[in-house]
A and B are shown apart, each in its own frame.
Chain A
Amino acid sequence: MIRKLSLTMLFALLLGLLAGFAVAQDAVSITIRCIASPPEEDWRCNNFASVEAEVEAELGIEINLNLIQDNASWGDYKNEFVLASEAGEAPDIILSGHEDIGAWAPAGFIIPLDDVIPMHSEFDDIVPSLWESHGYAGQIWGIPQDAEARPIFYSKLLLRDLGWSEEDIESLPDRVAAGEFTFADMLATAEAAIDEGVVDSGNGWWHRPSNGPDFLYYYYGHGGEVLDMEGNLVVDRDALVATYELLGGAVASGVLRSDIIGLDWSEVWHPTVGQAETVLFAAGGTWNWPNWALNYVADRGGDEYLFENIGLTLIPAMGTGKAITLTHPLTYMISSGSPHPDVALSLIAAITTPEHNNKHAIDSFHLGILNAQLESEAYANNRLLSSAHYMLDHTTSLPNHPGWNAWSGAYFLGIQAVETGEADAAGAADIAIAQMQNELGDGITVR
């Protein structure tokens, strides 16, 4: 009797397992890979978990979500996707910089979305200018996940020490946007601060300590272009020389330190800039703010300390006479190896709402991607976002081109040359152009 009961139970168990497998086989597995600085950027992947049930109900399927999110280095993260794609193990959705479209679209690792975007009304509300950075070869290859501005942070604390009135300090962003306070004015202010002992030599203005998108706005600010009308790579020598003159001149005048490139981000750059007591002007990104509030000035009051002592403004006008910034939207792209691109897109559409994107925007101080976000209470009432959203009207972006990597590497060489004194501005331009021509051959036009 016991034996029969045992056999029956075993049989039932096997049936249950088989049924379970059958259900699991009907479920659609979607893997999503995100890069995010925890905890403030975790919504990049976590938002998908909150819409899983909604999309399941909408499509009438079961979805097994596999969210992989970490803060890997960009180089490793991008290589991982390339290798996984070739191995047939790519995630269904990859979040990365829009400039990767320039390499991954021609490689066939991601799919164009023009035909399917109209199927989801959520995408209609995306800020139109953001689509411009998602194109390649006449098609759209990704959905914007976030936007940001790369402003100049200024220390209110040190400007007060320099004798600026509260009115002068608070009106600075407006004066910069109007072109009344230019980059030359900023450097002159920094020099004055050094002369008066408000800051030490080299601490008048800091830029980022490693290669990255920011450096391109100095070139754009002097009228330079990276792509011509046909989408081919170009380099404008005059703009290049003017850029290097600005950077080299800042070092020569003592405003910028010659060893700024190579400073450790977390050990030196963030704690120094975030505390607002040492550096007068610093070129950073909006997402730096929550990082500072959480990790560097939490004991001084976090956000409140930053609002009291740091302000942010557009990059003051350079040669073109217009204040600018640069937006580097991260983008959800769908792998060409995904067996369920329709489900993947539905998931992306489901999180492309003011409700979900606001969570990311507010926690990480990234700018909204939807027009409706501007009207939403949470976004509009956020003091930080409302002080920066106007920057999208002045923004520029990186090009999507397979040769961008070589272009930017050579451009950065020139910056290193001029800041360490290994070349003057013209010499640095020669170095950069020679490097571009050697690596890109006929693929670059010098103007």
Chain B
Amino acid sequence: MTVSSDKPKSSAALIQSRRNALRSYLGAYGFMAPAGVLVIVFFLIPVAIVLYLSVTNLASSNFTSDLAKMEFIGLKNYRTLFNDQFARKIFFNTIFYVLVTLSLFNVSLALIVSLLTTHIDRRAGFFFRALWILPRITSPVVYILIWKRMSAEAPFGILNQFNEFLGYPTYNYVATNPWVFVVVVNGFIGVSFGMIIFTSAIESIPKDLLNASLVDGSSRLQRIRYVILPLIRWPLLFVVTYQTLSLLTSFVEIQLLTDGGPGLYRTEVWSLTAYHRALSNYFGNAQWGYGSAFAVLLVMIGVVLAVIYMRVFRFDELIAEPRVEAL
């Protein structure tokens, strides 16, 4: 009797426990649903479509939006891509562009600007940070026009007008130093993102901690090296990760400034090639399928890099709790 009365009780408890578990799962998934839908609609589905396009010969001359009507050609686009005599060059251009821009500007200069502007008068710091945000909020076309007007050859360019005035030789700057301009132009835009993240991280360090280090006799440089930098380690890693992926897919400024030239793909990056192939060329017959093959490889590289960063930088710990506030 006792046994029989216990059975329904434990069964009811089990059901209740399952209900609670389900409720907690539903709550968690419910909160994640909006972001999840966005990822599905704006990433997974487009990636699936691009992946499918990359195994078709879709071009302007046989264009259709009906997936069933597209001609399946297997891996032919990928064979063409890997046989392309310039694919390797474009790949290494991309690596060079991402590494140099990221290390010199998006992280290093962003950190320097953050440190400098948080160590001067607050209003002056705000003013200089606002200046550094200008490249980010300026329309890319206007921004590149400014650079072109500055760097154009004599007598049109502003820099060359100074050269002429001072009696120095004049240059076609972008043509003679295309990578310098590509990196600087993109780097000036990239600085602002890291600068905002780093500044907010530095500002959130408790003031008594910073003051304590000075009381203990550290110089300002020592305080930056031994107090601030360790405390903003996580924002640093986040900026490195985010900006790597961002640079990997950015091409608008390069397109407007050099369009991948001069010469044989001197400044062409992978994402720009995908755009050139699939969406834009002078004589019109765009190769949507072939361009999609370039895009698919870019997505794969991005996903692999993201996983590596998450593992190496232990992002699960990053999102566990706020490190700065925990101290």
Contacts and interface: CB of A to CB of B under 8 A. Distances in A.
- Does A pair with B? yes
Interface of A: 73-76, 78-79, 82, 85-87, 96-97, 99-100, 102-104, 106-107, 109, 210-212, 259, 261-264, 267-268, 271, 398, 402-406, 408-409, 413, 416-417, 419-420, 422, 431, 434-435, 438-439
Given A212-B282, A264-B148, A413-B264, A82 B63 contact: yes
A79 B258 contact: no
A125 B156 CA distance: 47
Given A268-B156, A420-B262, A103 B60 contact: yes
A416 B263 contact: yes
Given A97-B283, A404-B285, 13 more contacts: A79-B284, A107-B62, A259-B176, A262-B175, A262-B258, A263-B175, A264-B152, A268-B153, A402-B59, A404-B283, A405-B285, A405-B287, A416-B262
Given A75-B282, A409-B281, A422-B264, A86 B83 contact: no
- The B interface is mostly helix, strand or loop, or mixed, namely loop
B280 interface: yes
28 contacts: A75-B279, A75-B281, A78-B284, A79-B280, A82-B63, A82-B286, A86-B64, A96-B284, A103-B60, A104-B60, A107-B62, A109-B63, A210-B259, A212-B282, A259-B175, A262-B259, A262-B261, A263-B153, A267-B148, A268-B152, A268-B156, A398-B283, A402-B59, A409-B283, A416-B264, A420-B263, A422-B263, A438-B85
B84 interface: yes
Contacts of A212: 282
Nearest to A413: B264
Contact of B280 (A75, A413, A431): A75
B326 to A, nearest CB: 51
B149 interface: yes
Contacts of B176: 259
Nearest to B263: A420
- The A interface is mostly helix, strand or loop, or mixed, namely helix
B246 interface: no
Nearest to B66: A86
A228 to B, nearest CB: 19
Contacts of A86: 63-65
Smallest CB-CB A-B distances: 7 pairs: A420-B263, A75-B280, A78-B284, A259-B175, A405-B285, A402-B61, A103-B61
Contacts of A409: 281, 283
A277 to B, nearest CB: 11
B281 A267 contact: no
Contacts, number: 122
Interface string B247-275: 00000000000110111100000000000
A428 B264 CA distance: 10
A141 B148 CA distance: 41
B61 A106 contact: yes
A333 B190 CA distance: 45
Contacts of B280: 73, 75-76, 79
B283 A99 contact: yes
A79 B61 contact: no
Contacts of A78: 60, 284, 286
Contacts of A103: 59-61, 284-285
A416 B152 contact: no
Nearest to B87: A438
Contacts of B152: 264, 267-268
B172 A259 contact: yes
B245 to A, nearest CB: 27
A262 B262 contact: yes
